[in-house]
Structures are given as structure tokens and as C-alpha cells.
Amino acid sequence: MLDKIGIVGIKILVALYYKEMYIRELIRTLNVSSASVYRVLPNLLKLGLVVFERRDTRKYVRLTVKGRRVAEFLSKAEKITIQVESRMLNDLLKSSQ
């Protein structure tokens, strides 16, 4: 599944895990091109990970139940990765002294 959504799709899912956003806000928050977001969103929709909701003039993106489960897993994996990288960097810095 992750190979169909790529890094931008993963970033979208993790961002939406913390906050429902409209598309422009998502693009600004992630600091990625609008083309890459618009390219990935249909795949996320087909996979049943997100739904769109129009409110006033804005089109919001929110996670489905399935999308929330996947995003929660990705969010936890991201935190673990950061912890491991931090420990490895600390060990590297200590060993070079």
C-alpha cells in the first residue's frame, strides 16, 4: 500500500492524524508542491484512507477509520525512528571524542 502513496502520501496521513485540514492548508503545512499533493490524494481516496468534505468554499480532507489506523501506525513508527536516530547520533558523537 505504501508504495502507491509514497513519501508525500505518508506525510499527508500523518499530518491528518493530528488535524483535519483543507487542501491548501495541507500543502502549506507539509511544504510540498500542490502537484504532488493532488497527485497522491486520489490514491489515498481509492485506498479508503481519506474522504473529502466540502465546507463553504473549501475542500477538506479527513481520515477514514482505516486511514486513522494506518496514520497512527505511521506516526508511532516516525517517533521510534527519531528516537533511534537520536541515540545513534549520540553514540557516534560520544565515540568520536
The domains of the chain, with CATH numbers, are 2-95 (1.10.10.10)
- For the chain, list the strands marked E by DSSP: 21-22, 50-55, 58-63
Are 30 and 84 a contacting pair, CB within 8 Å?
Answer: no
**pLDDT above 70: percentage of residues in the chain:** 80
Q: What CA–CA distance (Å, rounded) separates 56 from 73? A: 32
* Alpha carbon 60 to chain centroid, angstroms: 15
Per-residue pLDDT at 76: 75
Q: What CA–CA distance (Å, rounded) separates 89 from 79? A: 15
Report yes or no on whether pTM surpasses 0.75.
yes
Kindly tell me if the per-residue pLDDT of 83 is higher than 70.
Answer: no
